[in-house]
Amino acid sequence: MSLLVQVYPSRISITPKRKALDFHKVNFNKQCKSWYQKKSIQDIKNFNAVKNPFIISKTSKKKIMDSINSMYVLSNKRTVEMASGKKIYNFKLAFITLTLPSVQCHDDVTIKSNILNHFLIEIKKAYGVQNYLWKAEIQKNENIHFHLIVDKYIDYQALRRRWNRCINKLGYVDAYSQKMQKLSLLEYQKLRNKHKKVEFNICAKAYASGVRSGWTNPNSVDVRSVSGKKEIASYLAKYITKSFSSGGEKGSDIERELKFGRSWARSYTLSRLKYQNKYLIENVTPLINYLNSVPKLVKKITGDFFTVYYFNAEKLNLAFRTFHKKSIFGNAEIYRYPLPY
């Protein structure tokens, strides 16, 4: 039986080559499809259980991981200069966390539709962002927040100004300002230490800055630059692929989650990126033999009808890196994926 090798950004799978269906099987499949389409809408609703959008399925996790790894592999390392003049070397991706600085007083759908979507439109127009993925989470304080991954460098201060302007359309910066203006330095320090102990001189400096600005520029954005595969793995493990719900929640919490809609989404440039680049195993046997020879660098999973190799291509030899890069970039060209610059 001939085997096919399929190449992805962070793995290679080997599966049997499928045989073409004969006429009778094709006709049977068409009949099944026709029968299913005739089922009433109510029957279909009964068949499909209502899903919680904050519980990430295996299929969704796979899509998320492939999308982020695609952005990473297809983003060449580059040096970017910050507004302060400081340089960031080997920049590939930015991990952005967007939060609300005051108590949430609108429903999640309103926040997602009126704030997040508007913010995404702004950064697309202002900075040329085309490739991105976002995921929503509910914080311990019951506020919604968003994790966003982009392959463009955007100055932290500029991002914060834009996000604060977007959230203040619903009054969140004004509410924060009113609250903070009532605090003394000692009260402010006590508030900061509630979450994490901070030295007094740092609190005093932050307090003075807040007073000067009238507390109109809250620290509602966190940005981390990514230059290595290890950071991607850490981010995926901590934030992107984890499910929010863990069971035992209040009925109101579950109802809130079900109303939310999609808890993650990606740009069209990523969703249309399919990995159809397949090779006959006899044409890439030396590369597969190499993967088998470096078990410390590769995680191999086998089943009855498949074999999958997970790897960090940057740690493998030049021949494999060249093949992998050519395959991934060639696939991106087919689907007109816009490479960042």
Return the CATH number at 237: 3.30.70.1910
Q: What pLDDT does 185 receive? A: 92
Residue 305 included in any domain: no
Residue 92 included in any domain: yes
Residue 144 included in any domain: yes
Contact 155, 83 (CB under 8 A): yes
Residue 114 included in any domain: yes
Task: Give the confidence band of 193 by pLDDT, cuts at 50, 70, 90.
Answer: confident
**Lowest mean per-residue pLDDT among 122-126, 210-214, 259-263:** 259-263
Task: Give the confidence band of 227 by pLDDT, cuts at 50, 70, 90.
Answer: confident
Which whole number is the average pLDDT over 63-87? 90
- Residue 320 vs residues 75, 282, 286, 290, 341: alpha-carbon distances, Å: 18, 16, 10, 8, 25
Q: What pLDDT does 49 receive? A: 46
Query: Which structural domain range is residue 101 located in?
Result: 58-170+219-271
pLDDT tens per residue, range 269-301: 999 998 888 899 999 999 999 999 999 999 999
Q: What pLDDT does 269 receive? A: 96
Residue 338 included in any domain: no
Q: pTM for the complete prediction?
A: 0.84
> 137-146, 173-182, 197-206, 237-246 — which one is most confidently predicted on average?
173-182
Tell which wins on pLDDT, 149 or 231.
149
pLDDT tens per residue, range 33-65: 554 555 444 444 444 445 666 677 888 888 999
Which whole number is the average pLDDT over 105-114? 92
**Average model confidence (pLDDT) across the chain:** 86
Residue 80 included in any domain: yes
Q: What pLDDT does 42 receive? A: 45
Task: Give the confidence band of 25 by pLDDT, cuts at 50, 70, 90.
Answer: low
Residue 226 included in any domain: yes
Residue 311 included in any domain: no
Q: What pLDDT does 169 receive? A: 95
Domain count across the chain: 1
Which whole number is the average pLDDT over 184-205? 88
Q: What pLDDT does 237 receive? A: 75
